[in-house]
């Protein structure tokens, strides 16, 4: 008899990152299983925990007992439990963080539990002793059932699908309900009921007749259905409720964020020759239930999505399920539309624009097997499907697939791991694949599938590069070049639309010469130095090198050398001044922080309510409007000089993406890229849409700099309130790591982090570069263990990011 549960408790700390044994009270033996959450006593408190194992023990007198189960069916299946262990190992996070990352936020909050009969179940299906608790559509509190001693009994009903457990989150994310009206009499009692009503009550009789004649009586009616159907009034219904002939109850409805939209059914298109060649190997793996990772490298508009759709279709025909990841920002209605249009109600959508409750509802549809496809952002990779037939990651190069808090996982790694478990293919799709993925495809680790042509052989837009140094020499000090400004005016006159793109603000603190475009770089790292306004100095955030800001350009001796940064707001003001007639929509973090505002602004632009869409990163993707004929990039350089070895790659990807917004339909598109470094290969090659050459050039740079994909990297960041303390510990730490790792491993630092102080804590970092380092995980665990134990009480925090994407 398995009477003891191993539980991971909800205390994310080093010392508690292990299982604790709890006694399973006799009445719950057999009901509690791995993957369920339980409430357990822990010190003076009762907290949540995950059961991960059950075992049999003779001596249990010292064990505390589980207070109560929180689930009746596991919320984490076997695969997800072991995935949690894998995540813990790979990302060095706490087990509890890994498990919680897989569940919707609503399940972390405080909630009350209820039971509810399923729509499809009948009262007759329930065992006799449970019948008194239920009425169709009503809810029964968990407590009541438990106190009556019927938990085991009801658990079977949950497994049979007759009863569902409902969690009502206290305070936030309340469940949505609607009022329904049900008859309290059966069809055969109709005559009886009518006779009981007084002869004058003709209106009431009509309602009763309408309800019993209607086939859906047992499912209940919305009040308006009766009012319209029986031509009656709310007060007539109310009086029947008062007489006990009708029952008013509240029934849960899923909050469906897309419920008011009609998704027109689409059919599979007949594939082009290129698409056909690309999809064949995928279908073959699906048919034979084999794992393989495919890199689908196809220019924008080459029909990648259609390949996703038809692959999914094959998966569904085999009775399996599909996970589709898209970047948060492209979860626009347009994207959702394409999946819902093809697969209708089989699709659940998960993204951060949904409320806590909405996300929870979508997650439940997946868990209850009511849907077969999930389209979502990063965390949808943990969808609790049990029979996955394909995992698709669109725009696979996007860095938002990496989570920047614990567990610091990359969805691509999780996808490949899950797909191996399920023996199914993975498709990574992109017009500008990450260097890592393309390198793997070149080495044959992934299988490369290529779509080189746009649909209908559409032309990619013509891109012109404007040298802003030249503009300055010609006396133009504005942020718009003559060419861009002329085109803006021309589009305004023609009534066509323009997208103006400005890189994310705030991080553009590099020093540049406005005359020659010279950017001050670190002599050791080939990375631009970051300007610090406070000390008026420049620093390298990889190696710690420092120098003061020069008064004149070291390259051309011009005095126009200064630090750079322009915000969207400033651009908007300038536009208002220069083009007073233009209607502008500005999209940045400030204008899109409210729920739904992102979508609203885009819709307005799509409806032609503005001439110019001005924005940051968030407008680079997913925009597909026929009237956009001009795309302007105000300064291509801002991202290029970030202290990040991926700066050139990100610049290339972004410029390619942005350019893809123009001329997607019948009107030809133009792109103007303004830059101070037109000679940089990432800008020049993006303007020619030449990924292949960019790839070889960038690979050369990475090889020289010993960066991925030639080396793996791991970033350790330390922080402490006292500068001296953090410097001292960082020195010790890097010494320790050096002593443990192999000769060929490169350890940079310690050096101050690019953001050297956050919330009054000083930050120092160490970058480890390695090819093969069998001791790494062990060493890092020791670091976490020892350094944390030794210094945690003094306020030191340490974070380890394996394969970091944020170097700040």
* Contacting positions for ligand ADP (CB under 6 A): 269, 271-272, 275, 298, 300-306, 455
Query: Which stretches of 112-150 are DSSP H helices?
Result: 142-147
Answer yes or no: are the C-beta atoms of 153 and 196 closer than 8 Å. Answer: no
Least separation in angstroms between CB 116 and ligand ADP: 41
Residue whose tokens read 């409007």: 625
Query: Contacts with Zn ion: how many residues (CB under 5 A)?
Result: 15
302 binds, among Zn ion, ligand ADP, none (CB under 5 to 8 A by kind): ligand ADP
What minimum distance in Å lies between the beta carbon of 14 and ligand ADP?
Answer: 45
Task: By CB under 5 A, tell whether 518 contacts Zn ion.
Answer: yes
Q: Which does 524 bind (CB under 5 to 8 A by kind): Zn ion, ligand ADP, none?
A: Zn ion
Residues 555-594 that bind Zn ion (CB under 5 A): 555-556, 558
Terminal CA-CA length for the chain: 52
Cα 385 to Cα 368: distance, rounded to the nearest angstrom: 9
Q: Which of 317, 307, 315, 296 is nearest to 374 (CA)?
A: 315
User: Which residue, chain included where needed, has tokens 């499809």?
Assistant: 120
Judged by beta carbon distances under 5 to 8 A according to partner kind, the member of Zn ion, ligand ADP, none in contact with residue 300 is: ligand ADP
Dihedral of CA 103/109/110/116: which sign?
negative
Residue 271 interface partner, choices Zn ion, ligand ADP, none, CB cut-off 5-8 Å depending on type: ligand ADP
Annotate each residue in 522-541 with x if it binds Zn ion (CB under 5 A) or - if it does not, as one string.
x-xx--------------x-
- Alpha carbon distance 28, 463 (integer Å): 68
Q: Give the nearest distance from C-beta 437 to ligand ADP in angstroms.
A: 16
Q: How far apart are CA 410 and CA 312, in angstroms?
A: 23
* Stretch (H or E) spanning 8: strand 4-9
Work out what residue 301 binds among ligand ADP, Zn ion, none; the CB cut-off runs from 5 to 8 Å by kind.
ligand ADP
Q: How far is the CB of 806 from ligand ADP (least distance, A)?
A: 27
Q: Least separation, in Å, of the C-beta of 646 and Zn ion? A: 16
Residue 306: contacted member of Zn ion, ligand ADP, none (CB under 5 to 8 Å, by partner type): ligand ADP
Give the integer Cα–Cα distance in Å for 288 and 425: 10
292 token code pair = 């393989």
State which residue, 50 or 297, has the beta carbon closest to ligand ADP.
297
516 near Zn ion, judged by CB under 5 A: yes
109 near Zn ion, judged by CB under 5 A? no
Question: Helix H segments across 222-380?
Answer: 223-229, 234-242, 273-287, 304-317, 333-343, 356-367
Least distance between ligand ADP and beta carbon 695 (Å): 19
Phi/psi at 742 (5° precision): -75, 165
What is d(CA 323, CA 329) in angstroms, rounded to the nearest whole number? 17
In the list Zn ion, ligand ADP, none, the entry touching 540 (Cβ below 5 to 8 angstroms by class) is Zn ion
Q: Which is nearer to Zn ion, 515 or 698 (CB)?
A: 515
Nearer to Zn ion, 168 or 532 (CB): 532
Contact with Zn ion (CB under 5 A): which of 197, 543, 578, 701? 543
**Which of residues 561 and 662 has its CB atom nearest to Zn ion in the complex?**
561
The partner in contact with residue 616, picked from Zn ion, ligand ADP, none with C-beta cut-offs of 5 to 8 angstroms by kind, is none
Question: Least distance to ligand ADP from the beta carbon of 454, Å?
Answer: 8
Token code pair at residue 765: 């970092």
Q: Which is nearer to ligand ADP, 93 or 312 (CB)?
A: 312
Partner interacting with residue 513 (select from ligand ADP, Zn ion, none; CB below 5-8 Å by kind):
Zn ion
Residue 766 binding target from Zn ion, ligand ADP, none, CB below 5 to 8 Å by type: none
**513 touching Zn ion, by CB under 5 A:** yes
Tokens 């929870």 locate to 360
Residue 706 found at the interface with Zn ion (CB under 5 A): no
Closest to ligand ADP by CB, 302 or 765: 302
| Residue with tokens 């992102």, as numbered in its chain | 598
- Strands (DSSP E) found in 657-733: 670-675, 712-720
Edge-to-edge strand order for the sheet containing 4-9?
19-23, 4-9, 45-55, 37-42, 68-69
- Provide, rounded to whole angstroms, the least separation between the CB of residue 806 and Zn ion: 18
Give the separation between CA 400 and CA 382, rounded to whole angstroms: 16
CB of 274 to ligand ADP, least distance (A): 9
Least Å distance between CB 304 and ligand ADP?
Answer: 3
- Asked if residue 423 has a cis previous peptide bond (ω within 30° of 0), the answer is no
SS3 label, residue 565:
coil
Q: How far is the CB of 271 from ligand ADP (least distance, A)?
A: 5
For residue 657, the surrounding DSSP H or E stretch is helix 647-659
Query: In the complex with Zn ion, which residue's Cβ is closer, 60 or 543?
Result: 543
Number of other CB atoms surrounding residue 49 within 10 Å: 26
Strand 4-9, strand 45-55: pairing: antiparallel
Least distance (Å) between residue 565 CB and Zn ion:
19
> How far is CA 157 from each of CA 70, 150, 165, rounded to the nearest angstrom?
16, 11, 10
252 binds, among ligand ADP, Zn ion, none (CB under 5 to 8 A by kind): none
Residue 805, helix vs strand vs coil: coil
Residue 88 binding: pick among ligand ADP, Zn ion, none (C-beta 5-8 Å cut-off by kind)? none
Nearer to Zn ion, 304 or 541 (CB): 541
Q: Which stretch binds Zn ion (CB under 5 A): 138-146, 251-259, 269-277, 509-517?
A: 509-517
**Based on CB atoms, which residue is closest to Zn ion, 116 or 769?**
769
Q: Which is nearer to ligand ADP, 100 or 656 (CB)?
A: 656
In angstroms and rounded to an integer, the radius of gyration of the C-alpha atoms of the chain is 31
Closest approach of ligand ADP to the CB of residue 656, in Å: 12
User: Residue 518 binds which one of Zn ion, ligand ADP, none, with CB within 5 to 8 A depending on kind?
Assistant: Zn ion
**Residue 278 CB, nearest distance to ligand ADP (Å)?**
11
H-type alpha helices, 106-220: 142-147, 151-160, 190-196, 202-213
Cis peptide before 410 (omega within 30 of 0): no
Q: To which H or E segment does residue 447 belong?
A: strand 447-451
As a whole number of angstroms, the distance between CA 368 and CA 73 comes to: 11
99: tokens are 């498990």
Q: How far is the CB of 674 from Zn ion (least distance, A)?
A: 18
| CB atoms inside a 10 Å sphere around CB 188 | 8
Pick what 305 binds: ligand ADP, Zn ion, none; C-beta below 5 to 8 Å, kind-dependent.
Answer: ligand ADP
Task: Determine phi and psi for 114, rounding to 5 degrees.
Answer: -135, 160
334 binds, among Zn ion, ligand ADP, none (CB under 5 to 8 A by kind): none
Strands 761-770 and 746-758: antiparallel
Of these partners, ligand ADP, Zn ion, none, which one is at the site of residue 49 (CB under 5 to 8 Å by kind)?
A: none
Question: Applying CB under 5 A, does 545 fall inside the site for Zn ion?
Answer: yes
| Distance from C-alpha of 161 to C-alpha of 93, rounded to nearest angstrom | 36
Q: Which of these segments, 73-81, 252-260, 553-561, 731-739, binds Zn ion (CB under 5 A)?
A: 553-561
Q: With contacts defined by CB under 5 A, name the span among 47-55, 545-553, 699-707, 758-766 that binds Zn ion.
A: 545-553
Q: Indicate which of Zn ion, ligand ADP, none lies near residue 611 (CB less than 5 to 8 Å, by partner kind).
A: none
The site string for Zn ion over 375-404 (x = CB under 5 A, - otherwise) reads ------------------------------
CA distance 225 to 229: 6
Comparing CA positions, the residue from 495, 478, 502 lying closest to residue 581 is 495
Shortest Å, Cβ 318 to ligand ADP: 22
Min dist. Cβ of residue 452 to ligand ADP (A): 11
**What is the β-pairing status of strands 797-802 and 712-720?**
antiparallel
- The contact set with Zn ion (CB under 5 A) reads 513, 515-516, 518, 522, 524-525, 540, 542-543, 545, 553, 555-556, 558
């Amino acid at each position: 008899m398995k009477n003891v549960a191993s539980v991971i408790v909800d205390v994310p700390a080093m010392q508690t990152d292990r299982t604790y044994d709890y006694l399973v009270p006799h009445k719950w033996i057999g009901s509690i299983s791995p993957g369920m959450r339980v409430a357990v006593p822990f010190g003076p408190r009762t907290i949540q925990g995950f059961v991960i194992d059950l075992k049999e023990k003779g001596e249990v007198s010292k064990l505390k007992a589980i207070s109560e189960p929180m689930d009746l069916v596991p919320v984490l299946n076997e695969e997800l439990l072991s995935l949690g262990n894998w995540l813990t190992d790979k990302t060095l996070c706490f087990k509890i963080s890994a498990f919680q990352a897989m569940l919707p936020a609503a399940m972390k909050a405080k909630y009350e539990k209820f039971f509810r009969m399923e729509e499809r179940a009948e009262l007759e299906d329930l065992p006799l002793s449970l019948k008194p608790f239920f009425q169709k559509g009503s809810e029964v509190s968990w407590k009541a059932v438990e106190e009556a001693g019927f938990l085991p009994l009801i658990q079977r009903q949950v497994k049979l699908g007759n009863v569902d457990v409902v969690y009502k989150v206290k305070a936030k994310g309340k469940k949505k309900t609607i009022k329904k009206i049900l008859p309290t009499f059966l069809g055969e009692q109709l005559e009886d009921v009518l006779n009981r009503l007084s002869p004058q009550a003709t209106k009431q009789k009509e309602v009763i007749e309408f309800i019993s004649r209607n086939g859906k009586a047992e499912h209940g009616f919305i009040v308006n259905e009766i009012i319209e159907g029986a031509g009656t009034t709310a007060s007539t219904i109310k009086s029947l409720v008062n007489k006990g002939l009708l029952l008013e109850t509240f029934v849960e409805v899923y909050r469906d964020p897309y419920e008011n939209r009609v998704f027109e059914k689409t059919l599979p298109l007949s594939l082009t020759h290129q698409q056909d060649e690309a999809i064949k190997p995928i279908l073959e793996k699906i048919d034979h239930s084999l794992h393989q990772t495919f890199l689908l490298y196809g220019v924008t508009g080459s029909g990648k999505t259609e390949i996703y759709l038809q692959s999914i279709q094959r998966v569904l025909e085999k009775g399996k399920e599909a996970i589709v990841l898209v970047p948060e920002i492209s979860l626009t209605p347009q994207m959702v539309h394409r999946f819902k249009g093809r697969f209708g109600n089989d699709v659940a959508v998960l993204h951060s624009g949904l409320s806590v409750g909405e996300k929870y509802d979508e997650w439940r549809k997946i868990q209850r097997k009511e849907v077969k496809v999930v389209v979502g952002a990063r965390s949808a990779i943990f969808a609790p499907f049990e029979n996955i037939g394909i995992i698709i990651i669109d725009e696979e190069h996007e860095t938002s697939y990496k989570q920047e808090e614990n567990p610091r996982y990359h969805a691509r790694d999780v996808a490949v791991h899950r797909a191996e478990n399920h023996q199914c293919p993975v498709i990574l799709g992109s017009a500008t694949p990450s260097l890592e993925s393309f390198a793997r495809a070149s080495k044959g680790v992934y299988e490369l599938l290529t779509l080189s042509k746009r649909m209908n052989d559409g032309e990619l837009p013509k891109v012109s590069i404007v040298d802003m140094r030249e503009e300055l020499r010609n006396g133009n000090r504005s942020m718009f070049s003559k060419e861009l400004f002329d085109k803006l005016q021309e589009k305004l006159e023609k009534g066509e639309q323009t997208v103006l793109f400005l890189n994310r603000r705030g991080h553009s603190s590099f020093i540049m010469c406005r005359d020659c475009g010279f950017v001050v770089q670190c002599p050791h790292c080939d990375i631009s130095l970051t300007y610090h306004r406070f000390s008026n100095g420049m620093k390298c955030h990889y190696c710690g090198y420092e120098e003061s800001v020069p008064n004149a350009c070291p390259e051309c001796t011009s005095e126009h050398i200064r630090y750079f940064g322009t915000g969207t707001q400033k651009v908007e003001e300038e536009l208002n001044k220069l083009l007073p007639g233009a209607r502008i929509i500005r999209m940045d973090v400030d204008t899109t922080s409210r729920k739904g505002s992102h979508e609203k602004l885009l819709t307005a632009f799509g409806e032609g309510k503005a001439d110019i869409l001005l924005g940051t990163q968030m407008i680079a993707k997913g925009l597909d409007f026929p009237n956009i004929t001009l795309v302007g990039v105000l300064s291509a350089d801002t991202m290029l000089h970030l202290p990040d070895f991926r700066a050139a790659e990100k610049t290339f990807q972004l410029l390619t993406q942005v350019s893809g917004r123009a001329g997607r339909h019948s009107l030809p598109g133009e792109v103007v890229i303004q830059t101070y470094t037109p000679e940089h290969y990432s800008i020049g090659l993006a303007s020619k849409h030449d990924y292949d050459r960019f790839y070889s050039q960038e690979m050369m740079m990475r090889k020289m700099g010993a960066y991925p994909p030639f080396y793996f990297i791991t970033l350790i960041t330390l922080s402490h309130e006292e500068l001296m303390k953090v410097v001292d510990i960082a020195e010790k730490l890097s010494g320790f790591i050096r002593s443990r790792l192999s000769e060929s491993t490169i350890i940079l630092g310690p050096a101050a982090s690019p953001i050297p102080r956050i919330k009054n804590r000083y930050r120092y970092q160490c970058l480890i570069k390695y090819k093969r380092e069998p001791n790494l995980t062990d060493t890092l665990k020791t670091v976490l263990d020892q350094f944390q134990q030794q210094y945690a009480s003094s306020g030191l925090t340490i974070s380890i990011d394996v394969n970091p994407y944020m170097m700040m």
